[in-house]
Structure 1
Amino acid sequence: MYRKRKYETEKTPLKQLIMEGSSRVHRCFAFPTDDALEEKTRMNHIYRCCVHSWSWKEDTMLWDTHKDLLRYPAYIDGGGLNEDGWKYVQREVSEHVAHLAPMSTLKARSAEIKRREDGSVEEIMENPTSNIANCILYRKWDSKADAFLLKTYDNLSFIPGRQRKEFLDAEDWKSLQLWFAQRFGCCPTQTQLQARTRIVLQRR
Structure 2
Amino acid sequence: MTPDDRTPVADLPLLAVDLETTGLSFAHDSILSVGVVPVDGGRIDLGGARRWLVAHDEPGDAVTVHGLTHDDLEGGRPLPEVLADLREALAGRVMVAHHAPFETGFLRTAWRRIDEEPPPLTAVCTLRLQRRVLARAGVHEPPRGALRLWQARARFGLPAVRAHDALGDALASAELYLAQVAELGEGRSLVLGDVRLRTPPRWRRRLRRWWWRLRRRLSAGSR
Q: Which has the higher strand share?
A: 2
Q: Which has the higher helix share?
A: 1
Larger Rg: 1
**TM class by smaller structure:** under 0.3
| TM-score computed with the length of structure 1 as normaliser | 0.25
